[in-house]
Chain A
């Protein structure tokens, strides 16, 4: 137990180094201020202790110059922290282009993971180095939080909506995956490992475990089985709008608003079709609440995304 006393987590993602650099800056500022205040208190406490020759305090009411100084300097420093922290945060919030998606469904107390290729894992996530990975996540019950300390990333996973996060692993290895939001009895057992592999090895792993059917294919099967295709015809002209190339596009709504059709929009439109009606269409669609699981919803999303890719490849 005492043989290793680690003081610092491993750096295994493209942002880890940047986060640590900012952390060191904060440690330095905090260190300097602590030392400054502690040594002043210590020095004054000894130098001005009550003793013969120092039986009465000097009368000092204040000093505007000093007070302005120690208001402005901390204010300036905190604004530097704010700026640096926010720029890095914004940068880390934007998914870089070329990322591929992995779908995560959390429940008490496990992480269910689906790769687009159809592979499924529980409490384990295999990813390659060198590529940005985007996780699209939701929860079946309470709030969880997906946390990989070695990547310096964390994102709460909520029931009823999608949240997403991304990371780009840089070093092969095995890293802790934790649930960081308290979720009940087995909260501390709701974790596992993220395996970061060299791309070649990852390909091998992927082909070794694949069940043959990709998420999009499973999603397509569902799309037909649930009867979605009878209204949402690919060539258009159905009772519902065509969904070809929909994801990521702006949609003009009945209400005059325009929204971006992201994963959450798709999810909402399946479970609560009347929430956002596309302009020019009737609110005819029935709800699929209770008929499709969170995992199936993600398969439908993956299928609709594949339509987007198909369209792109044909137009290009």
Chain B
């Protein structure tokens, strides 16, 4: 195997792959190749990420001082609203599934594409139309409802572009539904010969679980937004009590999607982390089946906990009790995963490449995010800390600490496969470190701020909260640098990085058995699977050269 690798990397790369098969713009915009569509997504969501990031920078600058001075209150409200909407609906939800999932699901199961390639292209166009509407809402004056669209503020009182933004999110939702549908059908019907369910990589299990939520949850969000638009445009009384509606109905409908949506963001990341840990410890994931089932358990239980966003909303006390206990139950499969990853490290042979650093970072931040989630599920504590910075810190630990660390780890791990090039190790390790340190500096102080009682979405705040806010803003600047560095060296590596070869990390998994970048059909001949996932047992001495 070593010999073939070396000889391949020595040959000047004149081979045909999915990237150089056709260079025309048309070949990109009308492609049905899942790998090219993944790249289209990668470019678009990176753009949305940095737009959302600019809003975040403005927020942190404004919060440096207790009084409002950088922007007006109206502007500030639009900033945090647009930050949330961009990051959640146009970056985090599509991030891992639409980029890494799109690229890897077919390759990992030995298929030549997704089940519905044209539908896949369509979902990218739908996403872009949604994103364009969202951006047009942003540049024409923005939205100030908060990403949660609470009624009757959003449906009656807000003086901003609620309907355009709502329409953007409504449309983008269909891209998410179609992607989920595509994955689910693909995983069911297109696995290579011998690739049984319990030989699947955990990345596939995680995407299967995510697809369940995308397909079942997203339509509810679409309905909810449509109802808000109906009430706003035609004064149909649904949520506004002045029109005979019920404002709590909105919250129930909204969180019925938006809580599971958190699992749309985090489940794929859990899948990525399992891949990283298996590869860089050279071991099968400890308790593979339990980790696989826990993804499904999280997806199912995740639908039953939405009410924990509403403990002080005026919902009945007994409903609160039920949602509280269910929320604790959903914590258990997450805890199991963390313990299983930790146990996987035991007696491993751990290689310190950049992706494993992100995986370690993920475990740290996800653990903190999960444990603080227990605080919020505890009724008497939630009453005090809900709608404060405690919640802001908690969900950033999960959605940024968790989901984004997984995404970055995955991008680094599969970058050589996607582009055929290696990135500089030194820079990438530095960036991973900066992201971890910067993240904790930014968000840990917010837990303290929250318990102190600082409400979220505050444009100005009492002076005693300033020290912690300054700390948070300082951390955010470190975090920002940590996010910018990878953009630079990854772009650099496309042109100047050394050729990666088919399997630079000596990893298991079908994606590493084809060339980098893969050919359009992924494999010359359909692979046949004869072993379980992560079978590193036979590799003694095989990688001496690397260490």
**A contact residues vs B (CB 8 Å cutoff):** 1-2, 4-9, 18-19, 22-23, 26, 29-30, 33-34, 37-38, 40-41, 44-45, 48-51, 54-63, 66-67, 70-71, 74-75, 78-79, 81-82, 84-86, 88-90, 92-93, 108, 141-143, 145, 147, 149-150, 152-156, 158-161, 163, 176, 178-189
Contacts and interface: CB of A to CB of B under 8 A. Distances in A.
26 contacts: A4-B467, A9-B451, A19-B384, A23-B451, A37-B339, A37-B363, A38-B367, A51-B547, A57-B281, A61-B286, A67-B290, A74-B332, A78-B328, A85-B379, A85-B381, A89-B380, A92-B380, A142-B157, A153-B383, A156-B312, A160-B241, A181-B387, A182-B150, A182-B153, A184-B153, A187-B457
Given A26-B378, A56-B282, A156-B314, A89 B153 contact: no
B426 interface: no
Contacts of B455: 147, 178-180, 188
A44 B348 contact: yes
B349 A57 contact: yes
A5 B471 CA distance: 11
A50 B347 contact: no
Contact of B378 (A81, A93, A189): A81
Contact of B470 (A1, A41, A56): A1
Nearest to A66: B343
Contact of A188 (B283, B459, B539, B547): B459
A154 B314 CA distance: 11
B448 A44 contact: no
A71 to B, nearest CB: 6
A74 B325 contact: no
B492 interface: no
B194 interface: no
Given A48-B281, A159-B241, A189-B460, A40 B332 contact: no
A152 B152 contact: no
A62 B290 contact: yes
Interface string B502-533: 00000000000000000000000000000000
A82 B242 contact: no
B485 interface: no
Interface string B341-369: 01101111111100000001001100110
| SS of B interface (majority) | helix
Most A Cβ at <10 Å: residue of B148, B379, B451, B466? B379
A34 B470 CA distance: 26
Interface in B458-480: 458-464, 466-468, 470
B468 A158 contact: no
The size class of the interface chain B forms with chain A is 35 or more
Interface stretch (B21-29, B223-231, B260-268, B316-324): B316-324
A4 to B, nearest CB: 6
5 cross-chain pairs, A with B, having the tightest CB-CB distances, nearest first: A149-B453, A160-B241, A85-B378, A89-B379, A44-B345
A188 B374 CA distance: 28
A268 to B, nearest CB: 11
Contacts of B335: 70-71, 74
Most B Cβ at <10 Å: residue of A57, A78, A90, A156? A57
Nearest to A31: B371
Contact of A48 (B150, B331, B347): B347
Given A89-B320, A155-B314, 12 more contacts: A34-B371, A38-B364, A50-B547, A58-B283, A60-B286, A63-B287, A85-B380, A154-B386, A156-B312, A181-B150, A184-B144, A188-B459
Nearest to A37: B367
Interface in B69-106: 73-74, 77
B384 A154 contact: yes
Contacts of B158: 184
Nearest to B155: A142
A86 B321 contact: yes
A185 B283 CA distance: 54
B170 to A, nearest CB: 22
B284 interface: yes
A176 B452 CA distance: 11
B488 interface: no
A30 B371 contact: yes
A49 B352 contact: yes
A161 B342 contact: no
Contacts of A159: 152, 240-242, 247
Contacts of B240: 159
B288 interface: yes
Nearest to B364: A38
A38 B363 CA distance: 8
Interface string B531-547: 00000110111011001
Interface in B166-196: none
Contact of B150 (A40, A51, A141, A143): A143
B387 A88 contact: no
Nearest to A141: B157
A171 to B, nearest CB: 16
